[in-house]
Chains A and B, each alone.
Chain A
Amino acid sequence: MLRADQTIMITSGADIARDSGRSDWIIGTDDQILVTGANGFIGSKVFETLLEYGFTRIRCFVRSNRNLSKLKQIAERLKAEVDFIEGNLLSRDDCLRAARDVSLIYHLAAGTGKSFAHCFMNSAVATRNLLDATLKETKLRRFLSVSSLAVYSGFQIRHGDLINETCPIESEHMARFDPYCYGKVKQDEMVMAYSREHGVPYVIIRPGPVYGPGKKALTGRVGLDTFGIFLHLGGSNRLPLIFVDNCAEAIVLSGIVEGMDGEVFIAVDDDLPTSREFLRLYKKNVGHFPSIYLPYPIFYFLNWLWEKYSNWSEGQLPPVFNRRSCATYYQKQIYSNRKLKELTGWSPRVPFKEASRLYFEFMKDGRRER
């Protein structure tokens, strides 16, 4: 659901960026841009933001031509030359078609789900195919790869530490048992390898959990409803959220601002609530549901027990709950967006108060419909 007030906010953000930063951009507004995963939750907003920034030649790569009406309407409204390509990044031919003559690639398509092979294939293999396709393209100025905060290993970071782009990346994937994290780590490695070996100019951006109208679930960093009742696990942790419009703008700027090649950015909003505050607001604005708060040490201990049992039983219960995952998502840590702000000039245009209002309204409408 697109609201008029959202559009106005983006436009004003874009205007500021356009006025201030045009000379710093690595491409012109009439250069060809490719957006993969363009009809996804973040992809559609990136597409919209690019149009608002004045870019006129955008190629949207989508898995299926379904649900394109929203993108087409936006393109029509802004009179942009938009090229929709239906395909699969696992097909090298599709990748060649997609990458033809592009100056900038926003690679948002990703593998999600519970299977390691699936996540790896749709993240790392798909990215490799796209990177291969770009090797023959002489105009490519940057490959912007969207990663995730999930790649960091909270297990190797102390309680209360500040997490920035230099923090350790997860390496024990079978212990962490997080296929999405595995896929994203391998995707990042692939991008960096192509830069080293073939000189592909890249930027990697790692947004926190993205929320906003269109996102149908509460982020798992607040808690889990796996066991029938909602377990609130985040407590007083500052949630590393980013509103979808802010995220889209961070992605767009990381792609176009000059001098960013080889950089990795963490993208989170500024005025973030604690998990407890967010849950309280959610219940107040969307609807009440029972929840139990489980302090971090207790949940960590339960994860340890689960992990032990999983090992002992040879996977009768798979190690979906484990200390690594618990430490990454629920240990008190603060994520820094300083580098992103300093280097790209990005700042979150939509403050939390407004962002949460839009999100809660969307969730409330969805709940009413259900």
Chain B
Amino acid sequence: MRGSEIVGVCDQEELMAGQLAERYGIKHHFSDVEVFLKSSQPDVVHITTPPQSHYSLAKQCLEAGCNIYVEKPFTLSYEEAKELICIAEREDKKLTVGHETQFMPVARDMRRLINAGYLGGAPVHMESIYGYEFSEEQFAKAVLGDRRHWVRRLPGGLLQNIISHGIGKIAEYLQDDKVTVLARGFTSHFLENIEETDIIDELRVIISDSHRTSAYFTFSSQISPSLHQFRVYGPKNSLIADHEHQTLIKVPKKSYVSFLNQFIPPFADAKQYFSNGCRNIKRFLRNDFHADSGMYFLINSFYKSQTDNAPLPIPYREILLTARIMDAIFFQLNELGNKNYTN
């Protein structure tokens, strides 16, 4: 990223830090975070360790005078998230979380339209669908192949490591923080058949706030093809964002006479998909369509919040609300478990 320099990398396993430094020509690598902070004195630390260590590392870095970018999930609980934000404010430092999918081109376009009032008011309802493929993802193979994998040791298991991407999208558009959460989770037949009954890989959640904005969140490893969609329904118009294909479809309130209502809208939708395809190609040709463009945008915005005093890309309120919803989900899953579902 232009204007920034990687001053050092740190990993408890020195070989891992060393290989990263070697591949990217980074001058210094460390295996002790304290030594790293003292000798490199970075302005920003990116914490990309397993979530169990996010809180302690983030605290240490903030107290050492660094701004921090923490990979998702931000922390293991709402309390930890709240405390980190308090420390950041006390130390006059900034922090953010790696919810990069919220900064992919399609998510930015959607935000622009919503902020411009396209929905015709506050969202009435939202649907966030997050698909996960056990068969293809290397990470999933690692989790299934190792019963002591760190993902399995998270309080919310596999779900905790992933769902903040989908929950964060909902949290952004909820009207207030007084949320009610109803969660049901279960193990798919696929996992049951391979005797992985301690992993919950199917989750359905209903969320609502005190302004009666509601949302459904679906996490599934079994829906095929794997979907990554976010739908926002407004009092006037609605929007459908497909993160997989980077398409944003407007669903305008428009009705036509008689059968024209069945003839014209499909063509209008087709035109929208065509435009989306053209826009994606244009972005690619403009060299603005990198697979990790969401992360690039998020990191760049976070750096600008420090150098130019621009607003933070993810408000603290959204980070806390995401953590609160996730706490509520895991509390219900751990309390009620699969039994409640089967009963």
Contact = CB atoms under 8 A, between A and B. Distances in A.
A173 B19 CA distance: 11
A370 to B, nearest CB: 13
Contacts of B90: none
Nearest to A112: B138
B308 interface: no
B335 interface: no
A145 B284 CA distance: 44
Interface residues of B, number: 19
Interface in A243-285: none
Contact of A63 (B16, B146, B194, B284): B146
Contacts of B266: none
A312 B290 CA distance: 13
Contacts of B145: 63-64
Given A124-B15, A125-B13, A173-B23, A313 B287 contact: yes
Contact of A88 (B144, B148, B284, B287): B148
A113 B16 contact: no
Contacts of A316: 284, 287, 289-290
B147 A64 contact: yes
B290 A124 contact: no
Nearest to A63: B145
A124 B147 CA distance: 22
Contacts of B154: none
B19 A117 contact: yes
Contacts of B138: 113-115, 118
A173 B142 CA distance: 24
A91 B148 CA distance: 10
B5 interface: no
Interface in B169-195: 194-195
Contacts of A314: 287, 290
Interface in B286-334: 287, 289-290
B142 to A, nearest CB: 8
B138 to A, nearest CB: 4
A316 B285 CA distance: 10
Nearest to B283: A316
Interface string A171-184: 00110000000000
A86 B149 CA distance: 13
Interface in B1-51: 13, 15-16, 19-20, 23
Interface in A193-247: none
A315 interface: yes
Contacts of B146: 63-64, 88
Contacts of B23: 116, 173-174
Given A314-B287, A315-B290, A316-B287, A116 B144 contact: no
Contacts of A313: 287, 290
A79 interface: no
A107 interface: no
A316 B286 CA distance: 10
B339 to A, nearest CB: 25
A128 interface: yes
A121 interface: yes
Interface string A69-95: 000000000000000001010010000
A224 to B, nearest CB: 18
B144 A64 contact: yes
30 contacts: A63-B145, A63-B146, A64-B144, A64-B147, A66-B195, A86-B147, A88-B148, A113-B138, A115-B138, A116-B23, A117-B20, A118-B138, A120-B16, A121-B13, A124-B15, A124-B19, A125-B13, A125-B15, A125-B16, A173-B23, A174-B23, A186-B19, A312-B287, A313-B287, A313-B290, A314-B287, A314-B290, A316-B284, A316-B287, A316-B290
